[in-house]
Amino acid sequence: MKFTKMQGIGNDYVYVNCFEETVEDPGETAIRVSNRHFGIGSDGLILIKPSDKADFMMDMYNADGSQGAMCGNGIRCVAKYVYDKGMTDKTEISIETKSGIKFIKLTTADGRAELAQVNMGAPVLKAEKIPAVSNSMEIIGEPIEIDGELYHMTCVSMGNPHAVVYVEDVKKVQIERTGPLFENHPFFPDRVNTEFVHVIDENTIEMRVWERGSGETLACGTGACASAVASILNGYTKDEVTVKLLGGDLKIRWDKKENLVYMTGPAEIVFEGEITCLK
């Protein structure tokens, strides 16, 4: 099976072109390829498939084999892949995901895609739709105690569930301990991605993420969008936010008039290869 390893600000996935390849058991394949010692090494697996509703389809799996409905960094990479490989000559591409069709605009140079702006759609704030168990309709700045520590949490779905909490210093977060406690908290029936955010100024935040199904990653596109929306809702930032992640920066803009979130960032091919045997 031929594959391409790609990354969007350090959030790395193994991409398989399913116009040419068939993946029988994507969950199991994701677990095997993601292993950083016995496999290729990645945060998960992304399949690029034909779609009858959009130009292409993205089907994504986390490192633990669970399927994700949406992947912000992944969708920029899929758009770069199909453009750079000549599968389309369009610079405005539609991609079907499990959370609906997303629209991507590419900036190109020398026949290659460099930056991708993704219309990520409307943020979902209703607790039951995230899903999160709460007596409130929306969870904005709600207190939650985790491991004896009090956090104020804002929950947003960007096609997948996110809990955004604010901290003084992202470097000091014991994410390997705290991340799983949020991820598997009974508050979140489908588990949750958690963003630990520090507000730098009204235009800039920094963030570390614990991803549902993959653990700490260098970046999360949907998480950056959720963090920007949470920071705007809590009055910490303006509507356009630079999100600084361990792997790089993303620009997020919430167009409140249209209620649409736009994410802009890079995508890169790291290497390509062929799997002949993977235990």
List 94's β-bridge partners, or say none: 103
List 4's β-bridge partners, or say none: 15, 272
Helices (H), the chain: 26-34, 72-84, 175-183, 221-233
Min CB(126)–ligand LBFN2T5F separation in Å: 17
Region from 16-24, 140-148, 219-227, 266-274 binding ligand LBFN2T5F, contact rule CB under 6 A: 219-227
Q: Do residues 79 and 116 lie in contact, with contact meaning Cβ atoms separated by under 8 Å?
A: yes
73/237 with CB nearer ligand LBFN2T5F: 73
Chain positions 196 to 215 lying near ligand LBFN2T5F, rule: CB under 6 A, are 211-214
Min CB(221)–ligand LBFN2T5F separation in Å: 3
- Does residue 221 bind ligand LBFN2T5F (CB under 6 A)? yes
State phi, psi for 186 to the nearest 5 degrees: -60, -20
Min CB(200)–ligand LBFN2T5F separation in Å: 21
| 148 labeled part of a ligand binding site | no
Write out the DSSP string of 157-223.
ESSSEEEEEE-S-GGG--HHHHHHHHHT-TT-TT--EEEEEEEEETTEEEEEEEETTTEEES--HHH
Q: Do residues 117 and 49 lie in contact, with contact meaning Cβ atoms separated by under 8 Å?
A: no
| 259 labeled part of a ligand binding site | no
Active-site position among 77, 155, 220, 225: 220
User: Taking each helix axis from N to C terminus, what angle separates 72-84 and 221-233, rounded to the nearest 10 degrees?
Assistant: 130
- Does residue 26 bind ligand LBFN2T5F (CB under 6 A)? no
- Does residue 123 bind ligand LBFN2T5F (CB under 6 A)? no
- Does residue 39 bind ligand LBFN2T5F (CB under 6 A)? no
| 221 labeled part of a ligand binding site | yes
| 135 labeled part of a ligand binding site | no
What is the token pair recorded at 194? 């958690």
Min CB(156)–ligand LBFN2T5F separation in Å: 12
Min CB(64)–ligand LBFN2T5F separation in Å: 9
| Contacts for 76 with CB less than 8 Å, ≥ 6 apart | 8, 104, 116, 118, 221, 263, 265, 266, 267
CA atoms of 159 and 155, how far apart (whole Å): 12
Chain positions 64 to 83 lying near ligand LBFN2T5F, rule: CB under 6 A, are 68, 71-74
41/202 with CB nearer ligand LBFN2T5F: 41
Residue 12: count other Cβ atoms within 10 Å of its Cβ.
Answer: 26
| 159 labeled part of a ligand binding site | no
Q: Do residues 236 and 213 lie in contact, with contact meaning Cβ atoms separated by under 8 Å?
A: no
Residues designated as active site: 71, 220
Annotated binding site for substrate: 11, 62, 72-73, 160, 193, 211-212, 221-222
State the residues that interact with ligand LBFN2T5F by CB under 6 A: 11, 62, 68, 71-74, 160, 193, 211-214, 217, 220-222
